[in-house]
Structure 1
Amino acid sequence: MMSNKGYKHTHLEEDEASESSAPGALDFETGVVVRSSVFSWQRKTLLERILIVLCSLLILTVLIMAIVLATKDSSPHTDHKVSQLEKLQICKECGNIIPVIKTNYTKKCPTPTPVTASPSPSCPKPSPVCVTPACVTVAASIYNAMDTTADPCNDFYQYACGGWVDSHPIPSGHSRWGTFNVLWQENQIVMKKVIEKPLNKSSSLAELKAQKYYKSCMDQNKTIEKLGAKPAMEFLTGIGTWPLLTESKSLDIQGILEKIKAYGIGALFVFWVGVDDRNSTANILQIDQGGLGLPERQYYLNESDRKVLNAYLEYMTKVGVLMGGEENMTRKHMQNVIAFETELANITVPSEDRRDEEKIYHKISISDLQNMAPFIDWMKFFGKMMSVTNITLTADEPIVSFSSDFLRKMSALVTDKLRTEEGRRTLHNYLLWHVVSSLTSYLSKPFRNAKKILTEALSGTTGGEDLWRYCITDTDDVVGMALGAMFVREAFKGDSKEKAEKMVNEIKDAFKKNLPNLSWMDDETRQAAREKASAVIDLIGFPSYINNHTLLNKEYEDLNVTSEEYFQNNIRNMLFVVKKDLQTLRSKPKKNEWEMTPPTVNAYYTPTKNEIVFPAGILQAPFYDIEFPKSLNFGAMGVVMGHELTHGFDDQGREFDKYGNLHPWWNNQSIINFQSRAQCITDQYSQYKLGDNHVKGKQTLGENIADNGGLKAAYHAYNYWLSQNGEEKPLPALNLSHKQLFFLGFAQVWCSTSTKEADHLQILTDPHSPAIYRVIGTLSNSKEFAELYNCPVNSRMNPEKKCEVW
């Protein structure tokens, strides 16, 4: 599979949003937990907005009448006790709403008199409360998500999200459910609306291709079901015989690899064209370890994960039988394939040991690669791959290897297998299995159902989602910029892009202003860090070219799509993606190139471009809404922006300079000090447990540094905004200041539920910490949080020892 190494695009959330929708997706995986699922003012029609306002006024009128009735027989100065649920006190004389400051609140109102246009001077002057529809609705949503019986100084995640978790069971077809998922579902509804509309003459050809692809996936004529295994069988004839189906003693491993890699199939290794880490102005061939059918090497090696390995065997056997194999013989062949993959797993380097870019980057030539891994003719291989372009290679062509040790051992392993008939048969079955497994999502229902046993073992997912949702996500994967153009026109209007741009700049400024406070950093390195932060490129919403039909059409001009050939559409797309990637080898990297589609609920940082990207899909509630108080926008989207910015200074990002080049730009003592503080983060998160597993502090280090740095930068930016604009009106029904709401808004973005299998999978594979520890770990390092919530020293949320990098 053509692939980029994980850190190349450091995401906010690992594929949570697309969990069970896209072929092969695990889950960013990347909705609207507490707030957006209830309210999104920008998406309301004019009539809906009028009705909301009228309803809000009616509610206030009812509250006033209730107070009138409650005080009718009272003495002039009767205390009105306000319970936990009665968060507002209304002084009838002045028509004022007084926010509750304490849970057990007592307030004396003047003697009840008729409401007058001009309030009496004797009426106590309350703090103003925000009673706009957005404020009323978001306050209620925040409160409903909380568990106010929980001690915020012991477990802020339970305090912030307990109510949400109790009221949001995991839907069928998902292994986790949270804010990213809910927002993605809302975005799916928008995409469904626009893609099912009849296109007019002003629509682009690219958008027409998106609509055709979606129709082919929906398969109203049942073409996919009628064809069954036939498309895959025909495809295999172009690759070669499969010993599982037809006895074959010979194996042309060179020829098979040349054929399957043209489709981006990831057997044995992965390669791609990408920006050279040491020269961000040039693209270069890159190669890395790969070839496992399961998402993590430990599933092969840990006896405790035997259930997953058994489910993998059942999946493989079912697919083999559907392709025409005899069951017992198919099972035997697949057991040998798993044994071979287990050998690959043994030589695969764990992800947590690959975080130091300086150590794993090795620029060699194709000739060097031939000496390192001589199991195939690499010049012949790359020549065949580049035949779809006009580019000619020589043996001196540079290539970056990120897994030289693996490639040596893999070559030796394959060479050993090629010496025996049984070994050749196993290798042959392994290669063809990876071909077939990459196609099952595009075949009939029995093939798709065959994978359910593996999906359930890996993530605890049962059932399935609506076909249209699967097809929307699939269309976004294949022709996402065309679908994104339609999405943006429908859902991303007004000045959202400009306002988000302003917030990014505020976060950058706050990050830079904090640098002088870092006593562990020397002045020279501090100045270089300031320059790097200033040089960060930010891309907001969507790439501008998608609004230009000529440019958008050019994006997909080499991709042929029909409305009746779902399988063939995907075969053509596999070829299209590989060719498009290889054609960039002699091109200069584009600094403003997008790697995510506009509807995506996620964000990322790319170190070789020093670039942060925030698609339109995430610039919505609960992350961002222009109608929300700034405390919530800074606490949610502001932290996201700070998170991505801080990735430029985490344990991997810090190795790249402001131009995106990998080279040392830190003084030695600052490196030592950084590593010491980073170790504090590693040790802290390694103590957290999810089920029976400890969080991998080393594997999640970069994301944890980004979470902590992002929260700090966003909070400082909010404080600066307050100094320029003054205090915001309190939200009704909440006994919280806006500074407290900042932290609550941050926490509620991560409200989620998940299966124990999904938790285990996340611990093994995800560079992000589990949601609960993204909240608890980050906030327990914040002095400001502890002060605002009055947490005693050495309480769980306010440990005396805190970890701080940025």
Structure 2
Amino acid sequence: MTRYKQADFEEDSSSIGSTQIAEGVSATATHIRYHSGSTIWKSRSLLEKCLILLVASLLLIVFVFGSLLSAAGNREHPLHVVHVGAQTSDEMYCLTETCITTAASLLTSIDKSVDPCEDFYEFACGSWVRANPIPDGKSMWGTFTKLDQQNQLIVKNALQKPFNSMKSKAEKKAKLYYLSCMDPNDTVEALGAQPMLDLLREVGGWNVTGDYFNISNWNLQTTLHTLQNKYNMGGLFTWAVMEDDRNSSMYIIQVDQGGLTLPTRDTYLNKTANEKVLKEYLEYMTKIGVLLGGEENSTREQMREVIKFETHLAEITIPSDERRDEEKVYHRMAVADLEELAPFMSWTEYLSDALRLVNKKITNKEKVVVYAPEYLANLTKIIIEYNNTKEGKIVLNNYLVWQTVRSLTACLSKPFRDAYKGLRKALIGAEGGEEQWRYCVTDTNTVLGMAVGAMFVREMFQGDAKAKAEEMINDIRTAFKENLKGLKWMDDETQLLAEDKANAITDMIGFPDFILNSDQLDEEYYDLNVKEDQYFTNNLHANQYNMRRNLQKLGQPVNKTRWNMSPPTVNAYYTPTRNQIVFPAGILQPPFYDIRQQQALNYGAMGVVMGHELTHAFDDQGREYDKYGNLHQWWNNKTIEKFKKQTDCIVKQYSNYQLNNKHLNGKNTLGENIADNGGLKAAFRAYSDWAEMNKEELPLPALNMTHKQLFFLGFAQVWCSASTDEAMNLQIEKDAHAPSKFRVIGSLSNSKEFSEVFNCPPRSKMNPLDKCEVW
């Protein structure tokens, strides 16, 4: 389901990504809190104590046999594993509940038949992949997905509580929205196509269905005002009020390319490779048109023309890997100049019509930022050609109304929702079919993320996790700055400026404080109307609410404490215009983070995530912004040239990786790959510094690994995942993140510390002689 939501209007940011990217909005186990300590032990029943002792005994037995097997295995690979030395203390291993369950989880994922110096991803994740087949209906499955589903269950339980237990009106709205999605009274099914037909009448009709549409009265400008400004639908281009890259303290209108329905331009242009997808897309469009009253043959032909039009848009769309230089794509101009660049409509009238929603005015002297002037100029040629004939105008209207229809079909009855299955199967190898409550939890989180976040935080977020996470961030910041001093390609002056920028990075952890204040949370959603039995209308209201919230920012100073992700999200991000890193509560849980588990695992998992986001401030795009978040050149030219040589190594390295006979796009994934490598390096240094200053922790039982080896194992295992071929192909084509396997292999093969810790021989696959290093 495509919908303009709050995040679509937020500033560009770089996230850690996840293994469920191809699923769209991410979404089984019950959340388990691990405890240790004498007080908790005393509170347990006799049965619980016996069970824990039994598990501990079994793991000790596993450890004994594991040591023997490992010793035998080490005769084959004697250089690859550093053994924990014998200890005379009665406490040889950590046997707390957390340590036992953690050790068991790590062990069951490892494939001991794989040489860690040949393929560390298979070594760390091989058994996990075999034991975790992709669930029916899903295209990807991994650590991120499992934690996300765990968070969903927490939110579900919160949303199902009685209204009188809700702490705020906003939370009650979230519950109402959730109920409208769950549709316990089958209202959605009873209404069928009627809500969409009513909307089509309001927007001037659709030639596909033949109702209420009159080509003689049709006007492109009016149609865009209605569909895009009144109902916040997409088509032809994208625009929003966002932070000005060159003056990040203020908001400005930004205009960019857009308008494609299918996920990549290549899907339209490479017809041979994407024949199945294009066929299913046409089938999907036809089914929806027929469900809304269109005649099948006529509908199919009209939809074929829409695909042809979208193909023209794909032809002028600039590939993402050619748009990575932020300074080159930034074009600030007056609205009057935009009128000359793209005169297919009056931009002054269009923007004025939108801003009337929030009682703001605009003139043709207003400054806007255009990111794709070439696209808009070419778009004008296409639209003028279509707009010159009756048949062309019909195609334009069919395309624009289709953008509205397709974005709302998930809010209609089952036949409309089922129509998408064939296309979804072709795109990502799975038809979907997740439990309705999971879809509705995700959808509610999309629309009322902060209200849902308040419930989530009260249910699970541990108060001391925030302070501990802050300590870890500062450790990693310090380590990153120390690593700067060892870089030979960076001049001294730029190095000092880079250190200054690292010091200036702000962070937000867990959740925004205002969500626990009922009055402030209610203010966030005061003008969002939600009713229990009106799911379709609730979605329209959500679109309009987000439009107003976005437009209200124009002319206002930037609120740098506003979050782009809701607290339950299993992700993290960096925003260059704010020079800010953010870690929602959703990811600050095992296996990423647990204050009771070994610090090696915390630094290897969550620490690398933190290092990843911090390094985004210095990737090929983030480095163009200064410590205040303003876009301009603050490095000298020689250092920029040397930086590009370092990054060329990364581009070539990742472009040589391939899956399903497809090479990765090392240029498109460059920023994320730089962040992965820099984040790993900073986190390992931070952990090493921590280990030197603190008492050595007891090793985990049965694993037979040093703490530093655990660091790298913890890093790798959060990326354990499985994917359908279709979803993987789509990720390779579209995603700025490399597939999980290569996020592990790529970073570790560049790490001399990894090779030292696992004693990997020179020229082994995980220890190549030539390594890439940026940060």
TM range (shorter): over 0.9
Deviation per CA, 1:15-58: give whole Å up to 9, x if none: x45765xxxxx255x899xxx9887449x998679866542323
Amino acid at match of 1:233: L
SS of the equivalent of 1:742 reads helix
* Residue of 122, 136, 141 corresponding to 1:172: 136
1:743-782 correspondence to structure 2 within 5 Å = 743-782=712-751
Asked if the contact 2:115/2:123 (under 8 Å) is kept, the reply is yes
Cα displacement (A) at 1:173? 2.2
1:611-622 correspondence to structure 2 within 5 Å = 611-622=580-591
* Residue of 255, 258, 275 corresponding to 2:222: 255
Deviation per CA, 1:88-125: give whole Å up to 9, x if none: xxxxxxxxxxxx878579xxxxxxxxxxxxxxxxx955
1:335-374 correspondence to structure 2 within 5 Å = 335-374=304-343
CA distance in 2, matches of 1:566, 1:161: 41
Asked if the contact 1:4/1:274 (under 8 Å) is kept, the reply is no
1:404-803 correspondence to structure 2 within 5 Å = 404-803=373-772
Asked if the contact 2:59/2:702 (under 8 Å) is kept, the reply is no
CA distance in 1, matches of 2:44, 2:452: 27
SS of the equivalent of 1:200 reads helix
Amino acid at match of 1:654: R
Deviation per CA, 1:655-714: give whole Å up to 9, x if none: 000000001110111111110000000000000001021100000000000000000000
* Residue of 131, 135, 144 corresponding to 2:99: 135
CA distance in 1, matches of 2:242, 2:763: 47
1:435 to 1:733, Cα distance in 2 relative to 1, 3 A = same
Cα displacement (A) at 1:450? 0.4
Asked if the contact 1:191/1:486 (under 8 Å) is kept, the reply is yes
Which region of structure 1 is more displaced relative to structure 2, 599-608 or 789-798? 789-798
* Residue of 252, 263, 269 corresponding to 1:284: 252
* Residue of 291, 298, 307 corresponding to 1:329: 298
1:592 to 1:360, Cα distance in 2 relative to 1, 3 A = same
Asked if the contact 1:101/1:735 (under 8 Å) is kept, the reply is no
CA distance in 2, matches of 1:156, 1:52: 37
CA distance in 1, matches of 2:57, 2:352: 77
* Residue of 150, 153, 158 corresponding to 1:186: 150
SS of the equivalent of 1:803 reads coil
Cα displacement (A) at 1:264? 2.4
Unaligned residue ranges in structure 2 (runs of 5+): 76-86
Cα displacement (A) at 1:227? 0.4
Cα displacement (A) at 1:727? 2.1
Amino acid at match of 1:271: W
Asked if the contact 2:531/2:538 (under 8 Å) is kept, the reply is yes
RMSD: 2.3
Deviation per CA, 1:460-493: give whole Å up to 9, x if none: 0134110000000000000110011011000002
Deviation per CA, 1:478-521: give whole Å up to 9, x if none: 01100110110000023111111111111111111111111111
CA distance in 2, matches of 1:504, 1:132: 26
1:334 to 1:85, Cα distance in 2 relative to 1, 3 A = farther
Determine the structure 2 residue equivalent to 1:117. Answer: none
Amino acid at match of 2:54: L
1:794 to 1:27, Cα distance in 2 relative to 1, 3 A = farther
CA distance in 2, matches of 1:803, 1:408: 40
Asked if the contact 1:17/1:184 (under 8 Å) is kept, the reply is no
1:346 to 1:415, Cα distance in 2 relative to 1, 3 A = same
CA distance in 2, matches of 1:416, 1:645: 47
* Residue of 84, 87, 91 corresponding to 2:66: 84
Asked if the contact 2:238/2:255 (under 8 Å) is kept, the reply is yes
* Residue of 1, 5, 9 corresponding to 2:13: 9
CA distance in 1, matches of 2:28, 2:679: 20
* Residue of 52, 60, 63 corresponding to 1:56: 52
1:113-262 correspondence to structure 2 within 5 Å = 128-200=92-164, 203-246=167-210, 248-250=214-216, 251-262=218-229
Deviation per CA, 1:203-233: give whole Å up to 9, x if none: 1000110010001100000000000110001
CA distance in 1, matches of 2:551, 2:44: 50
SS of the equivalent of 1:658 reads coil
Would you say 1:298 and 2:266 are equivalent positions? yes
Deviation per CA, 1:244-301: give whole Å up to 9, x if none: 1226433311011011112221200010000000001110000000011101000001
Deviation per CA, 1:512-553: give whole Å up to 9, x if none: 111111111111100110010111010000000001111000
Amino acid at match of 1:224: V
SS of the equivalent of 2:273 reads helix
SS of the equivalent of 1:8 reads coil
CA distance in 2, matches of 1:708, 1:457: 33
Which region of structure 1 is more displaced relative to structure 2, 410-419 or 260-269? 260-269
Amino acid at match of 1:84: G
CA distance in 2, matches of 1:150, 1:61: 28
CA distance in 2, matches of 1:655, 1:144: 44
Q: TM-score, normalised by structure 1?
A: 0.90
Amino acid at match of 1:663: H
Amino acid at match of 1:255: T
Determine the structure 2 residue equivalent to 1:112. Answer: none
Asked if the contact 2:9/2:242 (under 8 Å) is kept, the reply is no
1:406 to 1:18, Cα distance in 2 relative to 1, 3 A = closer
SS of the equivalent of 1:422 reads helix
Asked if the contact 2:16/2:573 (under 8 Å) is kept, the reply is yes
Asked if the contact 2:66/2:702 (under 8 Å) is kept, the reply is no
Deviation per CA, 1:588-636: give whole Å up to 9, x if none: 1111110100000000000000010000000001100111100000000
SS of the equivalent of 1:461 reads coil
Give the length in aligned residue pairs: 753
1:530 to 1:53, Cα distance in 2 relative to 1, 3 A = farther
Tell me which structure has the larger Cα radius of gyration: 1
1:742 to 1:101, Cα distance in 2 relative to 1, 3 A = farther
Cα displacement (A) at 1:141? 0.8
Q: Percent identity among equivalent residues?
A: 51
Deviation per CA, 1:395-416: give whole Å up to 9, x if none: 1000000000000000110011
Asked if the contact 1:19/1:174 (under 8 Å) is kept, the reply is no
Asked if the contact 1:83/1:104 (under 8 Å) is kept, the reply is no
Asked if the contact 2:34/2:97 (under 8 Å) is kept, the reply is no
Determine the structure 2 residue equivalent to 1:76. Answer: none
1:264 to 1:720, Cα distance in 2 relative to 1, 3 A = same
Asked if the contact 2:339/2:346 (under 8 Å) is kept, the reply is yes
CA distance in 2, matches of 1:407, 1:364: 14
Q: Which has the higher contact order (CA 8 A, sep 6+)?
A: 2
Q: TM-score, normalised by structure 2?
A: 0.94
Amino acid at match of 2:53: L
CA distance in 1, matches of 2:611, 2:636: 24
Q: Which has the higher helix share?
A: 2
Amino acid at match of 2:771: K
Amino acid at match of 1:308: V
Determine the structure 2 residue equivalent to 1:108. Answer: none
Asked if the contact 2:64/2:702 (under 8 Å) is kept, the reply is no
Asked if the contact 2:646/2:773 (under 8 Å) is kept, the reply is yes
